[in-house]
Structure 1
Amino acid sequence: MFSIKPLAVATLLSASLPALAEMNTSEITQEGDYHSAVVEQTATSSYASVYQQEEYHRLSLQQSQGDSNYAAIIQKGSMNQIDFSQSGDNNRAEIGQGSAEHIINASQTGSNNELFIAQDSSGYASSIRSSTVGNDNSVTIEQNTVLGSIDYSVEGDSNIIQVRQTTITETIEGATNGNSNTVDITQTGQYNGSIRIAQNGDFNDVGLVQASYEGSSHAIVNQSGSFNKAYVEQLLNSNGSNATLSQTGIGNSASIIQ
């Protein structure tokens, strides 16, 4: 499981900044409320550094049509939003957020890309990590939690990953290996629920909805093969539920609702 705090990210970024300014360079610092920033870079070895402090900031950062790009983003305060995208090969991004009620939308396409996101929501440290290796992959993760954690990795082409978590002390861990797979996860609650996803193969699909309010719910989904479909919904049992769904082969379909 991956856990990282905004202070750790800030320290890492400050150590990395001086050596990476090549080709196009953009450095933005904003302090106060209700600021917005838009950064678009289309060259190879571009570098973007954005620091926003206080409340109601909006950042749009796009690095496209180039390789070996780097983005470093820090937001401190409340009600901030980041929209970030990278396309190309060997790109890297590091994002840190502090305080409460943040939104992060992140996507990467290309080979050997890497994305790190750290959130401090409502005064507590939340952590998100997503790494992508392949082409034309899309990863979108949103978290607004207290002591939450998300760790998701993708290897392959044309995979789509969507994760939403608005909980207290909830965890999500997943890995997708293959091509043209989809994952859609929603988790809510406040009782230490957990989700684990493992996909190996092509054209597999997982949908999972889970809530933990008066008891912990836990779900595990394993897929190995191609053209498999799995759906798990755990919303009805207030005391918590457990589900494990495994698929091996081609063209299987299964669902668990409880």
Structure 2
Amino acid sequence: MNIYTPVFVVITIALAASDTMANTVTVNQTGVGNIALPVQEANSVDRSTIIINQSGNYNESYPEQTNNISNAFISHTQTGNLNKAWSRQDNRAIGSSAIISQDGHNHKATTIQISTIFSRASIHQSGLGPQLAIINQTNGTANKTTIIQEKGPNVTVANQSGGSVNTTNISQTGGDIGDNTVTTMQKLGRINTIEATQYGGINRAIISQENGVTNSSFSNQIGRGNQIDIDQTGMLNTSQITQEWEDNLAIVNQSGNSSLSVTEQLTIDNFAATVQSGDMNQSTISQFGGNMNTTFITQSGSNNVFDATQNGNSNLISVVQLTDGNILAPTQIGDNNVFMLVQ
């Protein structure tokens, strides 16, 4: 009879001297109740590395790198069973990366990067079981977040606040059993981009870009009960949504400035509403090929353009464009069409 005891490692490296270079911590754990807690803390450290490999069973990993770490690298690899991973990089870190890879079972992953520049945060979760990925980047510049979740059910929360030229990329593949959820926010930032892709399952996406400049949002959901809610407040906003098949819902709210919104929902139970308040607005909604289509669009003033096509079944378009250079081109072909207009 084999008796296994939990294996854990706690390593703390604290260096006060300046211009310290290339500290490396590597932890390899194989089997049963693994815990690893490496911490690197130093001034002006360059190319510090934490690598944690855990193969199976009760894995947990909590690495931290703090105090002026530049080109720092954190990697956790957890294969199978009751995985948790948490990583933190902060205090003017430049060119840092945090990578979490979890394959199978009860996944949870969180990465926090504070005041980082040209940093990367990546989470990859694969396999059956509930998958949760959380990435928070605060007061950073030119940072990138990448989250990939396969199978499911999947939940993603990604927040970038107070930074500029930040990018969030999210991909969830749920298949028939997946129940995917994306919640992502970019707040008080400039030139930020969010891309979300969900494939299969009962998909949801809530995307918010708040008080930002030159924000963009792209979203793509294919299959099952899709929903998207996008809120952009600020300048030079762009949003594109594509949903194919099943219970689609898309709502876009852009408050002001040079906004563009394009929505395509290629059948079944489609609904699309776009509200653009002011400035050089443009909206294109195409719900193509039948089923229970509805389109609402409200553009309050400025150089508005609206283009809607709904090919078939229970169609309704309701348009409110309150003056300025409005252009309108709705087309409804077939079935119970209603068109309503206020200009």
TM over 0.5: yes
The aligned residue for residue 207 of structure 1 is: none
Tell me: CA distance 1:129–1:106, structure 2 relative to 1, closer, same or farther (3 Å). closer
Tell me: CA distance 1:94–1:70, structure 2 relative to 1, closer, same or farther (3 Å). same
Once residues 120 and 165 of structure 2 are traced to their aligned partners in structure 1, the CA distance between those partners, rounded to angstroms, is: 13
Identity of aligned residues (%): 23
Spell out the pairing of 1:171-190 with structure 2 (5 A cutoff). 172=239, 174=241, 176-178=243-245
Instruction: Decide whether the 8 Å contact of 1:78 with 1:100 is kept in 2.
Output: yes
The aligned residue for residue 52 of structure 1 is: 113
Spell out the pairing of 1:164-175 with structure 2 (5 A cutoff). 168=235, 170=237, 172=239, 174=241
Once residues 144 and 106 of structure 1 are traced to their aligned partners in structure 2, the CA distance between those partners, rounded to angstroms, is: 19
Is residue 117 of structure 1 aligned with residue 184 of structure 2? yes
Tell me: CA distance 1:59–1:132, structure 2 relative to 1, closer, same or farther (3 Å). same
Amino acid at match of 2:187: D
Give structure 1 regions of 4+ aligned residues with deviation exceeding 3 angstroms.
Answer: 121-124, 126-133, 147-155, 171-175
Greater RCO, CA 8 A, separation 6+: 1
Q: 1:197 aligns with which of 241, 263, 287?
A: 263
Q: 2:125 aligns with which of 63, 68, 84?
A: 63
Deviation at 1:112, TM superposition (A): 1.3
What are the ranges of 5 or more consecutive residues in structure 1 without an aligned counterpart? 1-20, 182-189, 203-214, 227-238, 251-255
Partner deviation per Cα, 1:212-238 (whole Å, 9 max, x = no partner): xxx513213131317xxxxxxxxxxxx
* TM-score, normalised relative to structure 1: 0.59
Spell out the pairing of 1:82-121 with structure 2 (5 A cutoff). 82-98=145-161, 99-110=163-174, 111-121=178-188
Tell me: CA distance 1:89–1:65, structure 2 relative to 1, closer, same or farther (3 Å). same
Once residues 82 and 145 of structure 1 are traced to their aligned partners in structure 2, the CA distance between those partners, rounded to angstroms, is: 20
What are the ranges of 5 or more consecutive residues in structure 2 without an aligned counterpart? 1-59, 61-80, 249-255, 269-278, 291-301, 314-328, 330-343
Amino acid at match of 1:74: N
Deviation at 1:68, TM superposition (A): 0.6
Once residues 195 and 145 of structure 2 are traced to their aligned partners in structure 1, the CA distance between those partners, rounded to angstroms, is: 15
Instruction: Decide whether the 8 Å contact of 1:115 with 1:129 is kept in 2.
Output: no
What SS is found at the alignment partner of 1:243? Answer: strand
RMSD, matched Cα: 5.0
Is residue 75 of structure 1 aligned with residue 134 of structure 2? no
Once residues 245 and 164 of structure 2 are traced to their aligned partners in structure 1, the CA distance between those partners, rounded to angstroms, is: 35
Deviation at 1:248, TM superposition (A): 0.9
Partner deviation per Cα, 1:144-175 (whole Å, 9 max, x = no partner): 98265859684616x9x9x9x9x815363746
What SS is found at the alignment partner of 1:225? Answer: coil
The aligned residue for residue 82 of structure 2 is: 23
Amino acid at match of 2:98: A
The aligned residue for residue 40 of structure 1 is: 101
What SS is found at the alignment partner of 1:146? Answer: strand
